[in-house]
Structure 1
Amino acid sequence: MSPLPVLALRGVSKRFGAVQALTDVALEVHPGEVVALVGDNGAGKSTLVKVIAGVHPIDEGVIEWDGAPVTVARPHDAQHLGIATVYQDLALCDNIDVVGNLFLGRELRRRGVLDEVEMERRARELLDTLSIRIPSVRIPVASLSGGQRQTVAIARSLLGEPRLVILDEPTAALGVEQTAQVLDLVERLRQRGHALILISHNMADVKVVADRVAVLRLGRNNGVFDVGTTSQEEIVSAITGATDNAVTRRAARIGEGRS
């Protein structure tokens, strides 16, 4: 892991009128690292993602890129730095094929005409590089499974060669096999040196792919945990703000039964 984070938030705060959405939030993400961002509903995860993506300019604090302060006041700023965000709704067009979705808004042209051959070639090359398996790049996205749709959305985000990829609940509503397909892709992105922020409510997914877990509670940091040395019970306690909950009580019962 690089000693210098590609992205660092220092004391970031964000208000919406009288509502304080984020307060003095800190976060670091290094190249080749997956940081899971977790928290209960209303904890500030979506706001933080949109701050990093340039949707909401910060009110206070500093955003650093490669150790230098930067201004991220609009999505174009984030994209220019090398930040790609895949939101939960995926923003795919069901009636357009895979190639068309990958290049939507960034179509290749040759002599003023869409270069379908080159776009298809690059689409196949990108999907092969990421080991993404789909029946054909020329079938409508509506024909794909949920997991395949998610991987296409992630692949589309990589066309601009981003260094940081933010994935918002990438396995929500997916079955076991489809979830495994997406998590395999996350692992491949890590191996390629991308920094990743994974927003998830699924602790099993977090334990499988994340290196560290950053917990938000009521718009504030409530701990950063190393996945390899932290129990699920500790993370759940940080999320809920309580040391006594169903997960910790179950763990206690299991421990008593073994003693």
Structure 2
Amino acid sequence: MTTVNANGITLGIESFSADDAPLVLLAGGTTMLSWPDALCERLAAGGRRVVRYDLRDSGESTTADPTAPAYTLRDLAADAAALADVLGGGPAHLAGVGVGGMVAQVAVLDHPDAFSALTLVGTRAVAPGPPDDDLPDHDQATMSRLFARPMPDWADREAVAEFAAASAEILGDDPVAARAIATRIWDRTPGTAPPVQMANQMGMVFSRLDCKPRWRERLPEIEVPTLVVHGRRNRFFPLGNGEAIAREIPGAQLLALEETATAIPDAAVGEVAEAMLTLG
């Protein structure tokens, strides 16, 4: 892991494989660890240069005040395009997971020359908040269980890991994997200030981020090959969100994962990697 300067800020990155291979750029959701190690390694073994990175206010990237971000979704999209340019090698295959998928959609729309392909995992085509009437919202019973619990002591590594494991169980993800990832995120977070730890673990900065103007109506403008990956058991962004994106981007492929919720499980890594490598 290292850092690079792009778009006037510092971005934390981790690279896999040789520098001269076609670039696959993985936007964190919000940290780079949203992308499983095994998937990065499979893509690299398939002849790709894989770079996963932290969004602002997470990991090793520029961190200021996650409670009052002085940037917008468009700035995060510009970060992706600038990072692809700094890393070199021509247009990149851009992938985004969760809120990182929102960044990826806008990046390809606003900076089409920077990207050659697009993968969107477990995301939707509208900003955080109430969705459009034709899109399924978060499963309310699941959300009630998630937010009924008290927040952990963000300065307590073990408490944060336990909180993440319990959250994963509610969402239908693997609690053991979630605990391990939460520990790694905690270790990489710059300091123990509660807002910063919370931003790294939960991506709450997006609830305060300016995501206007809307971009869903522009999805038909996307011309690069696109893969939409979505878990059939995703209770946070239910499958209908991924299906809508796949309908509205011309020629997009939908890969619906049967036993998957919000995170990419180890059992699905091979299937997702193969689909991404076939895309470009």
TM-score (norm 1): 0.23
Instruction: Give the structure with the higher percent helix.
Output: 2
The structure that is strand-richer by fraction is 1
Larger radius of gyration: 1
**TM-score where L is the length of structure 2:** 0.22
